[in-house]
Structure 1
């Protein structure tokens, strides 16, 4: 299977929404519809240093999505890239879609001169972590929230 990754365009909206809702359900989370609508607009228009990628197969089937946030850092002269969301449709897992998305993320970060790309996942997300262990470096940091 060929995986093509590119920035989202307006015609991707229904596929992006379907995959994003599946992503939210995967994490048993809840996101208000108005937030999702705003997120789509920000990603599409690349507002607030945000952008999204979509992965499709050679037949045009949407396989996965990623949302990126580029930001400054107090520890760097350049920007950081936060991979906020990465989701691959269950039927496409294990077929190189996640890797293709991450490679495209790294390429976009490199194009922008970013010196750190980072993300988080749940500790028990074993399937994703197998890939992440191959394409990234696990850090010792623990995340806290309010």
Structure 2
């Protein structure tokens, strides 16, 4: 992926030099969802995001004035209803001070562009029902589906 600009937001691939900023942003994302992960998960996830062997697992960073203010993790996977892979946008986060500045939109549009480049016709993601601020953007840039998520207890 090349670096792309959306208004004053620059979106680029995650690099090894981003670890500290990525960790801060991802930790804040997890706190927003009242969650946390052990240190091993931080280390393993960052290593996977940078690994050349992980062809389906990716991350992008959004910057404003050279400061990382947002991240997105996404992956490509097989789908039984399509020949092509589909793209799951797994985690999206914009720092509170950067909200309303186009960070979320720039990150989602960058994932859309990566999906197009990879030949993946579908990009999907989940959010919690109460995430009203983010859903205002999602309602403009995506289509709400009727699916309800279940998972193993």
TM-score (norm 1): 0.96
CA contact (8 A) 1:84 1:119 kept: yes
Stretches of structure 1 lacking an aligned partner (at least 5 in a row) = none
Show the counterpart of 1:50.
57
Equivalenced residues, count: 145
The Cα shift of 1:49 comes to 1.3
Pairing 1:88–2:84 present:
no
The aligned runs of 1:74-113 (5 Å cut-off) are 74-113=80-119
Q: 1:61-112: per-residue Cα shift (whole Å, max 9, x none)?
A: 1110000011010110101100000000001001100000011000000000
Q: How many angstroms apart in 1 are the aligned matches of 2:129 and 2:93?
A: 16
The aligned runs of 1:1-146 (5 Å cut-off) are 2-45=8-51, 47=54, 49-57=56-64, 59-146=65-152
Q: How many angstroms apart in 1 are the aligned matches of 2:101 and 2:45?
A: 28
The Cα shift of 1:31 comes to 1.0
After TM superposition, where is structure 1 displaced by more than 4 Å over at least 4 residues in a row?
none
Q: 1:30-86: per-residue Cα shift (whole Å, max 9, x none)?
A: 2111011101111112516100000001x2111100000110101101011000000
Q: How many angstroms apart in 2 are the aligned matches of 1:44 and 1:72?
A: 21
Q: 1:12-47: per-residue Cα shift (whole Å, max 9, x none)?
A: 111101100100111001211101110111111251
Q: How many angstroms apart in 1 are the aligned matches of 2:55 and 2:67?
A: 29
TM-score (norm 2): 0.92
Please give the root-mean-square deviation of Cα atoms over the aligned residues, in Å.
Answer: 1.0
